[in-house]
Amino acid sequence: MSAVNSLNPFRCAFEGIADALSTQRHLRIHVSVAGFVALFGLLLGLPYVDLLLLLMAIALVVITELLNTAVELTVDLASPGVSSIARRAKDIAAGAVLIAALVSAAIGFIILAPPLFRALVASPFSAKSALLAVTALGLGGSIVTALLPRRSWQNPSSELTSKQR
């Protein structure tokens, strides 16, 4: 087995991650929130154990989201029509993501809230507090944007069929 062939599984894995990131809105949201959480951890100078716990929580959410995507694609392939069993399989996989996200959010809050509060109270007008506040606004904005209903940005006339034109 050559060195090039032994790297093929890594290439396939990276292509799968890239495909999921380009097609899965929720995965992009999770990765965006994860970036803010990691930034908070670094800005707050958290101990390595806390950073490790945050990293594990982030990995849990991303992994379950990737597996959920794989389950949904597999179910769509195996059952292209409407099926209550296919719907159940997809709902169960989505439930796994929800549990992972809720537990990870709780872990993030437990780890980040006390040092964030201490940093903001200790020196509310410092550059560090301003950076933390801006990061918090970015995180909040990302979460609010994720929760807003999706809008179509297409030209309304482009949705007309050729028969309607």
Which residues have a catalytic role annotated? 65
Catalogue the long-range contacts made by 20-27 (C-beta closer than 8 Å, 24 or more residues apart): 20/65, 20/66, 20/69, 23/69, 24/65, 24/69, 25/150, 26/65, 26/97, 26/146, 27/62, 27/65, 27/66, 27/69
